[in-house]
Structure 1
């Protein structure tokens, strides 16, 4: 596993830290105001999705690898709802914040 502190993209690092800390404020501050996301190819309303899939269910990312200058992660994601699964996370950065991410099973 890759230590979060070793992730090469600072915006991605900030978002992963927020997820793992259960920090809603840091999560929202890492995103653009109009950030979007997909889960397994389906467009989702980001903040309600994050509340359900990350914060209310104690989501946590253990990063296995990163590529694409740190914008793509393979990670073991777990939460209280779904257990643990191997996932892919792809990020788009704009103006120093995450403007989009796409996640799904790897």
Structure 2
């Protein structure tokens, strides 16, 4: 992943979080808490968006804009500060700095 890809992701509102290599076994509980919540929110919000489109006389296929909006909303719900803090507590990770989310 190079600077161009990072810039392109930021332009469309995608945050990139980097992990320390070879630590996935330590972060598994974090993944279970955060990504399980993300998938739950993604499914519910996608279903609601499809229903809204159909009720408004549109087809049931989500547009790229729909998918970006659903992703962003599901991400914000699942990856809240509280969920991050709780998932870190499960893994034993500790917050060492006063700022958790840093802009790239």
TM-score bracket for this pair, using the shorter chain length:
under 0.3
Answer 1 or 2: higher relative contact order, Cα 8 Å, separation at least 6: 2
In terms of fraction of residues, the more helix-rich structure is 2
**Normalising by structure 2, what TM-score?**
0.24
**Normalising by structure 1, what TM-score?**
0.23
